[in-house]
């Protein structure tokens, strides 16, 4: 029997530009029968907090991204376009689909400590690991990608 491939993705931010690729790619890896994992660190860790995926934002580049209210408007627009044009669910739904299809989520211990988070702050199934734990996963992965 062929050894199952392993895919490890790093999600360092809680913006649509990083969350959608991390979740979509991890889901496709799982569907391709790979062991699929996402390591959330820094601002990305907010995605796997209870209710966190609903707070993912899209910040347009340049001047527009700095105007109050524009990121919220663009976030709604981008999520609607992803759903209608590409058939991609909202981030919170995509997160749940990933878990149901076997994608494993890891939270960075250093970030957890810096943000004074607790295990119960996270959605079910999240495992908190340190840098050594991440490196063990990364060294064993066939694909390791920073999103």
Domain limits of the chain?
6-55+91-146
The rounded percent of the chain whose pLDDT value lies above 70 is 99
State pTM to two decimals. Answer: 0.94
Which residues have a Cβ under 8 Å from the Cβ of 18 and sit 6 or more positions away?
Answer: 11, 12, 44, 147
CB atoms within 10 A of CB 82: 19
Query: Are 112 and 131 a contacting pair, CB within 8 Å?
Result: no
- Taking each continuous run of H as one helix and of E as one strand, the counts in the chain are 5, 5
- CA–CA gap between residue 147 and residue 61 (Å, rounded): 17
pLDDT of 1 > 80? The answer is no
Q: Which fold has domain 6-55+91-146?
A: Hypothetical Protein Ychn; Chain: A, (3.40.1260)
């Amino acid at each position: 029997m062929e050894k199952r491939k392993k895919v490890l993705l790093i999600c360092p931010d809680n913006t649509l530009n990083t969350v959608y690729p991390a979740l979509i790619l991890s889901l496709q890896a799982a569907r391709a029968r790979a062991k699929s994992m996402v390591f959330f660190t820094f601002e990305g860790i907010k995605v796997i907090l209870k209710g966190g995926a609903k707070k993912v934002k899209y910040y347009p580049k340049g001047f527009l991204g700095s105007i109050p209210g524009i990121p919220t408007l663009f976030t709604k627009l981008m999520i609607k376009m992803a759903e209608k044009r590409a058939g991609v669910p909202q981030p919170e739904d995509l997160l749940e689909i990933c878990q149901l299809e076997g994608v494993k989520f890891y939270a960075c211990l250093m970030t957890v400590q810096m943000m004074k988070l607790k295990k119960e702050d996270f959605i079910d199934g999240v495992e908190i690991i340190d840098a050594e734990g991440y490196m063990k996963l990364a060294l064993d992965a066939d694909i390791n990608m920073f999103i």
